[in-house]
């Protein structure tokens, strides 16, 4: 087989890149380790920045998103019994939308099917060969048969556990990491959201988040210990704990119900540099992870896709290599800013095991400055809605 770009990973990064390139007449093959149903069953975050929304439109995949999404003009922060709103629209004239990553991935698969672009599922033993030479190729096993695809470029969109990042030799690659000493226990329930905006809650008992997918589907999280197991938490325990961490007025109107999904995710900040090695480019979770506190995971993947898409179009249409040569530098400049926002928001809102009384006072002072200082709110708003590409 031969194609122009082999995309490893059929998550949102790989699918969006494939769809955008297809619209410019650039051919791709996507190799995905799991089945399509497995990929679509993953529950992930659901806040989209304008940059990603615009790319979905440019890719011609926004019809359902535009119809079904909720526009959020701001977000709420609570501490003890206080709650305040950061009004993005008023502060900087922008907003975000609520549309689940699962739905977005669904739409991208449907669009890929509609244009007849090739996706090979359940591939094993993917290996990227000669990425540092002029004629790279990818080998893999599909249904017990060894296969090879020759290509011009490889896009490593295979998430944190993929093969792309580790194809870059250790002598070239440097990883930066911070592991947080807690996780998030999340549930999805078919209940109406407790509030019309998200609530990020700092409390003595730890962080909590009230989020949503639609008018009858809510997503809630509580900070938990890394040693906790999902089985340790009954639905009742979860709801009781959530109610203790949000202001009373919110707890009083919370509608509870059985969970339809419950999972624990660890929190980590991670960046791998560089994001390009020869003809291999890393995109999304393959190159970086953020703690979910600022909803930056999917959105940061999207900005990588934007830079890579631009670079590949320049190359194939104008034989211009500037975009490719500067991809890593451009993508990383934005990635580090998203890392900083996610790390800072995580520090602001969680309880840490080794926090001293002084540390708690500092956290409180920082939250109050976000509550009462418009400059601090503007900084938060600019980062939350997404820095420009
Ligand atoms: N070969 C082929 N596919 C692979 C391999 C491999 N060796 N390793 C992993 N994959 C697939 C995974 O099964 C997954 O479907 O790559 C895909 C990567 O998708 P994601 O992990 O979703 O990563 P990405 O597309 O970069 O999405 C951005 O932002 O909100 C965050 O973590 C969240 O998934 C989200 C991410
Ligand atoms: C979610 O809805 O799952 C969600 C929203 C915002 C976040 C993290 C997760 O910051």
pLDDT tens-digit profile of 114-126? 999 999 999 999 9
Report how far Cα 355 is from the mean position of its chain's Cα atoms: 28
The predicted pLDDT at position 239 comes to 98
CB contact at 8 A, 126 and 8: yes
Cβ(167) to ligand 2 under 6 A? no
The first and second tokens of residue 337, run together, are 């800013």
Q: What is the pLDDT of residues 258-283, one digit of tens each?
A: 999 999 999 999 999 999 999 999 99
Give the three-state DSSP class for 311.
helix
CB contact at 8 A, 153 and 5: yes
Q: What is the pLDDT of residues 162-173, one digit of tens each?
A: 999 999 999 999
Cβ(45) to ligand 2 under 6 A? yes
Residue 33 pLDDT > 90, yes or no?
A: yes
Q: What is the pLDDT of residues 43-95, one digit of tens each?
A: 888 999 999 999 999 999 999 999 999 999 999 999 989 999 999 999 999 99
Cβ(46) to ligand 2 under 6 A? yes
Residue 19 pLDDT > 90, yes or no?
A: yes
Q: How far is the CA of 293 from the centre of ligand 2 (A)?
A: 7
The predicted pLDDT at position 26 comes to 98
Q: How far is the CA of 260 from the centre of ligand 1 (A)?
A: 23
Please tell me the residue having the least CA distance from ligand 1 atom 35. 298
- Per the DSSP assignment, residues forming a β-bridge with 76 are 85, 199
- Residue 336 CB neighbours (<10 A): 14
**Options 99, 109, 200, 307, the catalytic residue:** 200
CA dist., res. 346 & res. 342, Å (int): 6
In the residue annotation, 296 being an active-site residue is answered as yes
User: Residues lining ligand 1, CB < 6 A?
Assistant: 8-14, 31-34, 39, 44-45, 101, 123, 126, 157-159, 161-163, 284-285, 297-298, 301
The predicted pLDDT at position 189 comes to 97
């Amino acid at each position: 087989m031969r194609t122009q770009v082999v995309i490893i990973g059929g998550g949102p990064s790989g699918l969006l890149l494939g769809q955008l390139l297809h619209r410019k007449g650039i051919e791709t093959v996507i190799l995905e380790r799991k089945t399509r149903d497995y990929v679509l069953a993953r529950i992930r975050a659901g806040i989209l920045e304008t940059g990603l929304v615009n790319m979905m439109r440019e890719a011609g995949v926004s019809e359902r998103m535009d119809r079904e999404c909720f526009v959020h003009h701001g977000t709420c922060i609570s501490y003890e019994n206080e709650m305040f709103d950061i009004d993005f629209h008023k502060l900087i004239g922008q907003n975000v939308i609520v549309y689940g990553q699962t739905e977005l991935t669904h739409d991208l698969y449907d669009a890929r099917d509609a244009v007849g672009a090739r996706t090979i599922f359940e591939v094993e033993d993917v290996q990227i060969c000669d990425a540092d030479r002029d004629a790279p190729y990818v080998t893999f096993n599909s249904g017990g048969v060894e296969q090879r695809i020759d290509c011009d470029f490889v896009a490593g969109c295979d998430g944190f556990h993929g093969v792309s990042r580790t194809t870059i030799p250790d002598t070239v690659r440097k990883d930066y990491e911070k592991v947080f000493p807690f996780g998030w226990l999340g549930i999805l329930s078919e209940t109406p959201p407790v509030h019309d905006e998200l609530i990020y809650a700092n409390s003595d008992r730890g962080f909590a988040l009230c989020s949503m997918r639609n008018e009858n589907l809510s997503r809630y999280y509580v900070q938990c210990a890394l040693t906790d197991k999902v089985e340790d938490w009954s639905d009742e325990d979860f709801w009781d704990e959530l109610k203790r961490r949000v202001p009373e007025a919110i707890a009083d109107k919370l509608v509870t119900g059985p969970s339809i999904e419950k999972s624990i995710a660890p929190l980590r900040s991670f960046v791998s540099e560089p994001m390009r090695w020869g003809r291999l480019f890393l995109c999304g979770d393959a190159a970086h992870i953020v703690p979910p506190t600022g909803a930056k995971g999917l959105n940061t993947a999207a900005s990588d896709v934007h830079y890579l898409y631009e670079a590949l179009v320049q190359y194939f249409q104008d034989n211009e290599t500037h975009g490719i040569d500067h991809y890593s530098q451009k993508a990383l400049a934005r990635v580090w800013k998203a890392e900083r926002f996610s790390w800072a928001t995580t520090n602001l809102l969680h309880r840490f095991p080794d926090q001293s009384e002084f540390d708690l006072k500092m956290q409180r002072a920082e939250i109050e400055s976000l509550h009462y200082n418009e400059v601090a709110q503007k900084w938060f708003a600019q980062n939350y809605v997404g820095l420009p590409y």
